[in-house]
Chains A and B, each alone.
Chain A
Amino acid sequence: MQDQNYHRIPERSVHYERFMSVMEKIRSSLGVILENNKSRVGFALLIGIVVFSIVGIFYTPYQPDAYLFARGLPPNSVNILGTTGYGQDVFSQLLGGAAPTLMIAFSVGVFGTLISVFVGLLSGFASKRVNEAINAIISIFLVVPGVLLIMLFGTYFLGIHESLGYLPTIIILVITGWAFGARTFRSITLSIAKRDYILSSLLIGESRMSIIFRQIMRAIMPVVVSNFFFTSMYGAMGLTFVEYLGVGNVEQVNWGTMLYWAINNEAYLTGQWWWILPPSIMISMLMFSFILLNFGLDEMANPSLRVYSRKKRIVKND
């Protein structure tokens, strides 16, 4: 038995090896996230919300957008979180609306980060004139208030389609949200590109693509991850803004539209707290987890932020 087991090891396929190495990479990068207390808490929260949303895709107690119950019931044994002013089950809506909300937040995070990494890396290796042009574009997008731009875009879309689907929402949020990260990556890339080891690998004859992807990408990776969470937070925040203003498609069920309907029916004036509080708490929790992850990773990427106790003053009365 022992021998057979021993002989089985070399038989593992190449695919298995590759799979294991990928898993190892994921494990080690997760290990980075779990090094810091802040990001640990944030990660736990985020995992909780993701599990919540995955459950929401496959199972909700009732159909989220069906009018099945009496209007405005407070929490009871049938409807755990009560019903809306239209007779929908609040808990089902919360569960079913989680996945679209997360989907938008993450896709804004992914695309926004991709654009800002691209722009940042480009400016690190571009000529001086192109670099200045990039900088000007970045600062224009930084200065223009994103939420106003969302309103403007959203209303134009409203004028054409009568309603805004998820895709235009994501596009708007990416357009207004990439600049902050781009500025960060630009300054980091510029400082890294000047360092000696990059110069020496240029002199050795390493290709630029290889330098960008193998050396600079590796150096800015923690910041990329941290920026991903920041942009995702912007996505979640922007979604609630878009939906709250009624610029998006208010027929879809997500946490933003839940707030829209609750607020438009003046749930806060009529004392229906079970309609307005659950989505706002969930959104706050999501953002809280993103902020925690962002700051936790920042602390790890930037050693000067690491908190250590100050040296004792020895040479006081020398």
Chain B
Amino acid sequence: MNFLLPRMMPGNPAVVVYNEILKAGGSGINPSYLHQLEVEYGISNAPIYDQYFQYLWNLFHGNLGISIAFYPEPVSSILAEALPWTLFLVISSITISFFIGNRLGRYAGVNRNTYRDLAIDIFAMFMASFPAFVLAFIVLDIFSVYGHIFPLGGAYGLDVTMGFNVPFLISVMYHAFLPILTIILTSLGGWVLGMRNNIIPNLNSDFINFSENLGFKDYQIKSIAYKNALLPNMTGFAMSIGLSVSGVIIEESIFSYPGVGLYMITAIDSLDYPLMQGIFLMVVIAVLVGNLVVDILYGFLDPRIRQEGE
């Protein structure tokens, strides 16, 4: 898909850049320059299968082409620079929201049909219905613009040196607080509702009645049901990595956090196709790896799946 899309679409980056220069009234522009640009960006008119093998060969060597917006920096080096920040945001915020959300959902499910349950449900639904970037703006407005509590952007302060020292780590935490908070708030709702909907059938099931009759204590029963209800949410965990990468893109651009998202927005504004494809490919790979890891973990957690394979 990543290979086909740009080739199916009429026009190519070289033409876009060429037209831009024409519009700006650049001098010394003629079709030979267009050809030069095409060579520069690795666009050829070779048969499609030749292009495909060329593309795979380049991928294999970590060559994703050259960015247009950040010319002449190659896409791969931009990604290497931006990826750690994004991964940091995504992993920390998903993990936190996963734990908080599941606990809240469990609380709501155990106390179902009460006002506490209703309050948690409504809160979760409302949070899930808020567009992520609007929430990000509100948070930014309250805490940074008017409150002056948190910084307006960046990943770390200018007064610290990069590396594993205490001031740097504190600065990173301080700068990441607001983005992580918004991602947690927007992704919390899904976990809460999912957990609640999983644990209610579990609490009504036969094995819970059985363990009740065996004389298990209340908290033991709840934790048994919780463990069982957690399993479907684990698969959701993998899928949410992909979803929140998309959410992170928006939030990074708002908090001007130097991750992949900020580059993505720049790439869209300047029609930087190579950079966009590089980011897209990388995100898809990240999501696939995440899915794979969770699938393997799932096998460890759920004995039923292991038995099926044997």
Contact = CB atoms under 8 A, between A and B. Distances in A.
Interface of A: 142-149, 151-156, 158-160, 233, 237, 240-241, 244-247, 259, 263, 268-269, 276, 280, 283-285, 287-288, 290-292, 295, 298, 304-305, 307-311, 313, 315
B140 A143 contact: no
A159 B201 contact: no
5 contacts: A152-B276, A152-B277, A155-B271, A156-B6, A159-B273
A153 B16 CA distance: 16
B229 to A, nearest CB: 12
Contacts of B147: none
Contacts of A280: 130-131, 134
Interface residues of B, number: 55
A285 B129 CA distance: 8
A160 B284 CA distance: 25
Given A268-B137, A305-B197, A305-B200, A159 B280 contact: no
A145 B242 contact: yes
Given A145-B242, A151-B276, A159-B11, A276 B137 contact: yes
Given A156-B5, A268-B145, A284 B242 contact: no
B265 A144 contact: no
A263 B138 CA distance: 11
B271 A158 contact: yes
Interface in B243-290: 243, 245-247, 249-250, 264-265, 267-269, 271, 273, 276-277, 279-280, 283-284, 287-288
Contacts of B239: 142-143
A143 B249 contact: no
A146 B284 contact: no
B246 A148 contact: yes
A288 B204 contact: no
B133 interface: yes
Given A148-B283, A308-B204, 10 more contacts: A143-B288, A147-B246, A155-B271, A159-B16, A244-B131, A246-B268, A247-B268, A280-B130, A307-B200, A313-B212
